[in-house]
Amino acid sequence: MTHKMTSGSHVLSVEMLARVEGEGGMHVHVQDGEVRDVHLRIFEPPRFFEAFLRGRAYTEPPDITARICGICPVAYQMSACLAIEDACGVAVPDEIRLLRRLLYCGEWIESHALHIFMLHAPDLLGYDGAIEMARDHRELVESALRIKRAGNDLMTAVGGRAVHPVNVRVGGFYRLPTHVELARLRPQLVAAREEAIAAVPIVSGFEFPDFDQPYLYLSLSSEHGYPMESGTLVTTAGLTAPVSAFGEHVVEEHVAHSNALHSAFDGQPYVVGPLARYTLNYASLAPLAREAAEASGLGPTCRNPFRSIIVRTVELIHALDEAIRLIDGWRGAPMAAVPVPARAGEGHGATEAPRGLLYHRYRIDDAGTILDVQITPPTSQNQSAIEGDLRTFVQANLHLSHDELTRQCEVAIRTYDPCISCATHFLDLDVEHL
């Protein structure tokens, strides 16, 4: 089949995107060589978390919002805790922040290892998935599984389990890990760090299309190092703002050509996630991670989403290195959690989920009953940029065959590691099944 994409009407369509979290599809309409319409289609059913939370107790969101996403539950727990503590006027002591950061490292390691090796690499090596890839590249897949396991074991030690950890509460934790529990993780993390460093030449050796994009980047920036569990808002436009100002800058807009709600930052499309974090926080990467970035040929910024696999690998090395550093420096804490008495008010919290900035806002009453909730996950913030990328990419590659262009669009979407389960609160709900 060789129709020319440059004339007539063409629809590039993927019914079910594979190797993404959740269920979505893609629809691109090309008319006479002009891209007319681009949709990331979401048919993941709506799940109403903001509504469920109304009327619940202010202590419940860490457990309830974890269930938004099985891949990044810690991110939901961390942003929820920060927002509720902010509403109650409590800041947790540094030991608790450090333990949160350690738990978060586990989630970054697990999630990034999954995406780099099992969801993204098969595209670059020409396989349908990691299981098929393992037939020819068994060592690579086994190494990936060992790295992933180091992250899961860290989450299990600190959080109780890898999916929906039980040990997180508003104010801190239910129980502190023992020195022995943490020390046991060290050899595995050190080995995983070596294996992640060894993967740098592999992931940077792939061919990537030239596709630098001009988007505004948004991430947290933190005095405590590369941003994870805390920080303030920064953008590549030079803006610095407290997390409480998120709602003043981020507006969801209606766009004339579609019914999608598109997030915009001060009126511009923007991107959150590894590329944004890396570009805005290169200087705070651990020395080993920066060496890996240099060895891979990345500069201090990265604007090509296809190269995100390299950035994720650099962040993976950083998270492994950081986890080892935190374990080595752990001196215990006087208490597992601090009291957080309820008071009427509103609080904001943002942390860096593996896929990017995750914002929560809660309004509670004096008794601690939740009155109103807003949750803005990374994938819904990136939706405009993903659609913008597809538009630009298809327009520039109409010389490719229909099938090849469709496949490449699917690859482009996967480079963002979209989490559709998370994003169903806000993403364009296209109920029309084409």
Partner 1 sequence: MAEKPTLAVWKFASCDGCQLTLLNCEDELLAVAERVSVAYFPEATRAVVAGPYDISLVEGSITTPADAERIQEVRAASGMLITIGACATAGGIQALRNFADVSEFLSVVYAHPAYVATLDRSTPISAHVTVDFQLRGCPIDKRQLLEVLAATLQGRKPRIPTYSVCVECKRSGTTCVALASGSPCLGPVTQAGCGALCPKFNRGCYGCFGPNDTPNTASLATRLRSEGMAETDVMRFFRTFNAAAEPFRVESTAHEHSVAPREGVIS
Tell me whether residue 153 or residue 289 sits nearer to partner 1 (CB atom). 153
Give the amino acid at 343.
Answer: R
Rounded least distance, CB 94 to partner 1, Å: 22
Tell me whether residue 293 or residue 409 sits nearer to partner 1 (CB atom). 409
Tell me whether residue 222 or residue 379 sits nearer to partner 1 (CB atom). 379
Cα–Cα distance measured from residue 338 to residue 61, given in angstroms and rounded to the nearest whole number = 17
Joined together, the tokens standing for residue 173 give 């934790």
Cα–Cα distance measured from residue 103 to residue 128, given in angstroms and rounded to the nearest whole number = 32
Q: What is the DSSP letter of 223?
A: T
Tell me whether residue 196 or residue 234 sits nearer to partner 1 (CB atom). 196
Tell me the DSSP string of 361-427: EEEE-TT-BEEEEEEE-HHHHHHHHHHHHHHHHHHHTTTS-HHHHHHHHHHHHHTT--BHHHHTTTS
- Residue 323, Cα to own-chain centre: how many angstroms? 18
Give the amino acid at 13.
Answer: S
Tell me whether residue 130 or residue 202 sits nearer to partner 1 (CB atom). 130
Cα–Cα distance measured from residue 32 to residue 219, given in angstroms and rounded to the nearest whole number = 39
Rounded least distance, CB 310 to partner 1, Å: 22
Rounded least distance, CB 66 to partner 1, Å: 8
Tell me whether residue 20 or residue 203 sits nearer to partner 1 (CB atom). 20
Residue 332 CB burial class (10 angstroms; 0-12, 13-18, ≥19): exposed
Joined together, the tokens standing for residue 133 give 């890839």
Rounded least distance, CB 431 to partner 1, Å: 5
Rounded least distance, CB 142 to partner 1, Å: 7
Rounded least distance, CB 118 to partner 1, Å: 7
